[in-house]
Structure 1
Amino acid sequence: MQVSPVDDSLEQTELRGPRARTRKLMLDTAIALMQKGQTPSISDVAEAAQVSRATAYRYFPSQAALVHAVVDAGLGPILEWHSDSNDAEVRVQDLLKTSMPRILEFEATFKAALKLSLEQWAERQAGTFGDEPPFKRGHRVEMLQKAIAPLKHTLTEFQFQRLAKSLSLVYGLELLLVLKDMWGLEFEETQDIAAWTAGALVRTAIAEAGV
């Protein structure tokens, strides 16, 4: 994840200032709406937060920017995940254990974001997507590559990326969509299946590399 450098004094001023409070009000309002399963527009959030549309657009110039901010807030501590272990399997299991309860907590938010992504895809296919910036998903790519980083010099680049891509099938919202929504499993069982599958994938990748 790339973070633009910010002057500390300016950041502290903004955190204490009215602009920061207005932005937080809008973000909290958007989070509340998305936790109800809605995918709000800027106008929806402005109305609910009782601020003008002009003010709302100064903080979030597009629906994509708004939803990105809400998703990042929902992910919260997941984005700060770190492991000191040099064992890739241990790291992957820790990432799953850390992430999935949070993803469950904000399941409605992430489903609303997925809905926006799918709607925009359908509009692009139909040629009706306008000038609105697209909403793009992608944190999981970085998180999984970070989790298996100890294998960076053990696997070939192809093997490393294949493992990361394979693990993406058992990490994130889609895990809940398949196992919880389609199979009707309780969360604990989805966690167990994800951990079992992830462990098998890592061990298979290592075995194929002849380590």
Structure 2
Amino acid sequence: MDISRQQQPTEGKRERGPRVRTRRLMLETATRLMQAGITPSVSEVAEAAEVSRATAYRYFPSQAALVQAVVDEALGPILIWEPKSNVVAERVEGLFATALPRISEFEATFKAALKLSLDQWARRQAGTLGNEPQFVRGHRVDLLRNAVGPLAGTLDPAERDRLAQALSLVFGVEVLTILKDIWGLDTRSAQDVAQWAAAALVSAAVAEKAEPA
């Protein structure tokens, strides 16, 4: 999940007009396809939306740009999450409580985006990716750094980053893939495990620092 922390437009201030409607149609069509487990090309979305390819590519010049736009739409409230506490354990709990239900709701979309990322990695390793724009992931970096920010007086920057990196292992669609697809947990149970693991990591990081040298 690489997130540009862009401000989402409010309903009352949304732009209007044919260009906006066409872009919205393409995003909704791409979302529908991705929720069905497909990682569509721009051409495939254009065909499904009954929009000319030339028009489609004016809005989304590459598959990466299209998928990124769909992911940002699906992330929704996660992108504009702001902590309501200066207590790190509560901030992390709040972030996970906001993010995990939304990720579950759009699980198929995020898995389709993950598939594109993995496919591009494989082609880059094989030297066959060419000049295709890269689909970039990593929104969780800023989110988790924000969540652990109040530990600045307790942990040094490297230690805070290590905690954020550890938290990233239980944050995102990957943790749902492991807990639901491999362990067979339902959505609620998977979220509970992820929340428990996140709390344990925060506690461990703080306790480790508090131990006498």
TM-score, normalised with respect to structure 1: 0.92
* Aligned residue in 2 for 1:53: 53
Uncovered stretches (5+) of structure 2, i.e. residues with no partner? 8-12
Structure-1 separation of matches of 2:142 and 2:51: 35
Matches within 5 A, 1:123-202: 123-202=123-202
Residue correspondence of structure 1 range 54-93 to structure 2 within 5 A: 54-93=54-93
Cα contact 2:96–2:171 (8 A) shared by 1: yes
Q: Which residue of 1 aligns with 2:17?
A: 17
Match status 1:120 vs 2:142: no
Give the C-alpha shift of residue 3 in structure 1: 4.3
Cα deviation, 1:133-176, whole Å, max 9, x if unaligned, reads 01111111111111111112321111100000000111110111
1 CA distance for matches of 2:6 and 2:84?
22
1:2 CA displacement: 5.2
In 2: Cα distance, 1:176 partner to 1:77 partner: 19
Distance 1:123 1:182, change over 3 A: same
Determine which structure has greater relative contact order: mean sequence separation of CA pairs < 8 Å that are 6+ residues apart, divided by chain length: 2
CA distance in 1, matches of 2:188, 2:6: 34
CA distance in 2, matches of 1:111, 1:188: 18
Q: Shift of the alpha carbon at 1:41? A: 0.4
Paired with 1:106 and 1:152, the residues of 2 have a C-alpha distance of 33
Deviation of 1:209 (Å): 2.1
Q: For residues 81 and 109 of structure 2, what CA distance do their matches in structure 1 show?
A: 20
Indicate the residue corresponding to 2:35 in structure 1. 35
TM-score, length basis structure 2? 0.91
The alpha-carbon deviation at position 206 of structure 1 amounts to 1.1
1:152 is paired with a residue of what secondary structure? helix
